[in-house]
Structures are given as C-alpha cells and as structure tokens.
Amino acid sequence: MKSVSWTLGLLLVVGWMLSPVAWAQPKSAPPFLKPLMDQLMAIDTVPTPQELRAIDPQVEDRLVDAAREPALNEYARARAVTLLSLFPTPETYARLLTLQTEPDEEIAAMAVYVAARTFGPEAPDMVLETTIAALYSPSKTIRKKAILATRWIGRPDDVRQHLHVYLEREVDPELIRLVGRTLRKVNAVGQGQSQ
C-alpha cells in the first residue's frame, strides 16, 4: 500500500512538473505559420533577420499574424512580437503600434516594450508619447511593461518627469516599487552610466 501511495505521489509530482511543458506546446498552427513554428517555439536561440526572411520573405507580416493567432500559445505569440525587433524599420514600428491595441493584454504589453526597446535609444521622440500613454492603461500588465520600457527611451529627463507624474496617480505597491527601480536606472543613464 505504501509503495502504491509513493508511486501515485511520484506520478502526480511528475505530472505537475511536466504541465508547463504541455502548456508550452502549440495547439495547432495555421498552415501559413507552420514554416515559422520552429523559430516561434525556440528558447535559447535568436535567429538572424536573414534566417527569418529565408523562411518567408514577408516574415514581418507573418510575425504580426502569429502574434494575433489564438491557436498559438502565449509563448509563441509573445516571441513573435519580440522577433519583430530584428527589423528596426518604420514599418515595424507601425506594426508594433497596431499590436499595442490587441485585446490580449500580454501581446499589447509586449508590443509596448519591444517598440521602446527597439526604437527608444536611437529615436526617442518616436516612442516617448506612446510609451507614456501606456502608463495610464487600465491594464496592470500593460502599465508594468510600459514602466520597464521607459528605461530604454533616450530622453532620460523627460522619462523622469513622466514617471514622477505617473507616481502621483499609481496606487499599486508593486508598480510603485517598479517605478522606483526604473528611476534609478534612468538616473544612472542620465549620469552617463550604461543601462
């Protein structure tokens, strides 16, 4: 009886440990996304833009399609958004702005972060307004990513000012602490230290 209980317990633990693995598997990708699935499910690799274009010459559009595809799991959809950062063009920025309006808060939040991370250091004027607007989203998920994204915007004085104004309204303790950490990073950048 004891060995049956132990075996059952072990099976439950193994099942519990493997549940994230099962969650990570895509449901069923539409045919037009199947060529990209290896890249969307990869964990420790970052493809080059050339590798992605070899899969599909219109890969940027396919990445947007993947980010919106409900048949894909959250990981594959979020990775599609992050892979857009490999193509730092005005067209990619427009795609990221469109994804910021997605009903899925995780995808919208990731689009806010990727836009600021990709374009903020070199083109801060392009991303400052939309990133700051995301700070006031009703979604905590989007606000959190927007806070994290501000550190990449190459206008530290403006970012500091906006974060201080934001702090006057925010009541969530987690986000208040996150703003404090972000301000320390922004202040370090403003003083010439690296991010």
Selected residue with higher pLDDT from 193 and 17: 193
User: What is the predicted pLDDT for the residue at 35?
Assistant: 87
Calpha distance 140→172 (Å, rounded): 9
Instruction: Read off the pTM.
Output: 0.82
The predicted-structure confidence for 30-78, as pLDDT tens digits, reads as follows 888 888 999 999 988 999 999 999 999 999 999 999 999 999 999 999 9
User: What is the predicted pLDDT for the residue at 32?
Assistant: 81
Task: Return mean pLDDT, the chain.
Answer: 86
The predicted-structure confidence for 76-110, as pLDDT tens digits, reads as follows 999 999 999 999 999 999 999 999 999 999 999 99
User: What is the predicted pLDDT for the residue at 194?
Assistant: 52
Task: List domains and CATH numbers for the chain.
Answer: 28-190 (1.25.10.10)
Calpha distance 141→102 (Å, rounded): 13
- Show the tokens assigned to 1: 């009886």
Measured CA to CA in angstroms, residue 107 lies from 24, 55, 74 at distances of: 16, 23, 8
CB 188 within 8 A of CB 154: no
Calpha distance 156→81 (Å, rounded): 25
Tokens 């702005």 correspond to: 97
Calpha distance 57→102 (Å, rounded): 24
Calpha distance 68→70 (Å, rounded): 6
Calpha distance 165→170 (Å, rounded): 9
SS3 track for 7-23: HHHHHHHHHHHHHHHHH
